[in-house]
Amino acid sequence: MAKGEQYEARVEAWLKPVLDEHQFELVDVEYVREVGVWYLRCYIDKEGGITVDDCEVISRLLGDWLDKEDFIADSYILEVSSPGLGRPLKKEKDFARSLGRDVEIHLYRLRDGSKEYTGTLDSYDEGTVTITSEESGTLTFDKSEIALIRLAFDF
């Protein structure tokens, strides 16, 4: 396991009971480097949506714990936020919650002349995702060919 994955796993393990206590859901933890700066990002959610105050509470608790444990060697910026409207579907619970809803799929490579598909999420399993599209009918994609899948939103 890479250093970043170890950090993510340790933070995730500590955060889960804290978030359960506040009736929040942990969507994702990521430790990434962008333009020479390390970020530890924690995405949280709850029924009805997360607020700035919710993020502040978790950020303070997590920040205090991280300062005490001091296991991340690099300098980094801690961010706690909502996953946002265009949140990616990553975990089984994300797919289960999104059944029957419109999703956008972005592929790594062209398929039938396109890399982008939108449709209703009909089903999924460990290796595939099936949508129904007005233009193309029922389509099944291997998860390995999907660069990004997220809820579609209309303004």
Which residues, listed in sequence order, are joined to residue 42 by a DSSP beta bridge? 29, 80
- Contact (CB, 8 A) for 32 and 38: yes
Determine the straight-line distance between the first and last CA of the chain, rounded to whole angstroms: 41
Report the predicted TM-score, pTM, of the whole model to 2 decimal places: 0.72
Q: pLDDT tens, position by position, for the chain (155 residues)?
A: 788 899 999 999 999 999 999 999 998 899 999 999 999 999 999 888 899 999 999 999 999 999 999 999 999 999 999 987 777 888 888 898 889 999 999 999 999 899 999 999 999 999 999 999 988 899 999 999 999 999 887 65
Torsion sign over Cα 109, 113, 117, 119? negative
Q: List the domains of the chain with CATH numbers.
A: 3-81 (3.30.300.70), 92-151 (2.30.30.180)
- Contact (CB, 8 A) for 44 and 80: yes
Upper half-sphere CA count for residue 33 (Cβ side, 13 Å) = 6
Q: Distance between CA atoms of 133 and 121, rounded to whole angstroms?
A: 9
